[in-house]
């Protein structure tokens, strides 16, 4: 004798909802950090492209800080995350780490690194 098809149990549905909520929590925790990094990269690249080759590192840093402020990137300071060099043309190296509480005592740690130089930014 054949049994009738029963479908998904209540426990299966509950586990699916829990898995979906967990994935949504991860997305909500990580997405703004990646979005801010993308905005930071865009602002640095635009400033590298528009700056003259003989700009001083302090002037470049102040201009990028102004761009951060205009684009509502207020929790990250340019001088804390990047170094500017003018030895072989304008070069900016960005490296920083963001630690965010995920749940209970679990933290998410994201590291962002990228280098910009005037020749590669202008060629794009």
Q: Is the pLDDT of residue 23 over 90?
A: yes
In a domain, 109, yes or no: yes
Residue 38 reports pLDDT greater than 80:
yes
Is it the case that residue 2 has pLDDT exceeding 70?
no
Residue 47 lies in a domain: yes
pTM of the model: 0.80
In a domain, 102, yes or no: yes
What integer pLDDT is reported at residue 60 of this predicted model?
Answer: 92
Q: Quick check: is 118 in a domain?
A: yes
**Is residue 52 one of the residues assigned to a domain?**
yes
Domain membership flag for residue 15: no
Give the span between the Cα atoms of 37 and 73, in whole angstroms.
10
Name the pLDDT band for 3 (thresholds 50, 70, 90).
confident
- The whole-number pLDDT of residue 4 equals 76
Indicate the number of domains in the chain: 1
| Of 80, 84, 75, 25, the residue nearest 51 (C-alpha) | 84
Distances (CA, A) of 119 to 20, 21, 87, 89, 124: 45, 45, 13, 8, 9
Q: Across the chain, what does the average pLDDT equal?
A: 89
Higher pLDDT, 37 or 7: 37
pLDDT at 93 over 60: yes
Given this model, what pLDDT does residue 107 score? Answer: 93
Domain-embedded: residue 55:
yes
pLDDT of amino acid 86: 84
Q: Which domain holds residue 41?
A: 31-123
Residue 7 domain flag: no
């Amino acid at each position: 004798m054949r049994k009738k098809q029963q479908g998904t149990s209540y426990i299966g549905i509950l586990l699916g909802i829990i898995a979906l909520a967990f994935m949504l929590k991860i997305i909500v925790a990580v997405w703004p950090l990646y979005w801010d990094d993308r905005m930071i990269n865009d602002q640095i690249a635009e400033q590298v492209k528009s700056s003259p080759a003989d700009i001083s590192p302090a002037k470049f840093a102040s201009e990028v800080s102004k761009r951060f402020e205009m684009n509502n990137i207020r929790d990250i300071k340019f001088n804390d995350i990047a170094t500017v060099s003018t030895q072989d043309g304008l070069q900016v190296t960005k490296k920083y780490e963001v630690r965010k509480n995920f749940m209970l005592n679990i933290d998410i740690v994201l590291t962002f690194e990228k280098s910009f130089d005037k020749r590669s930014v202008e060629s794009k």
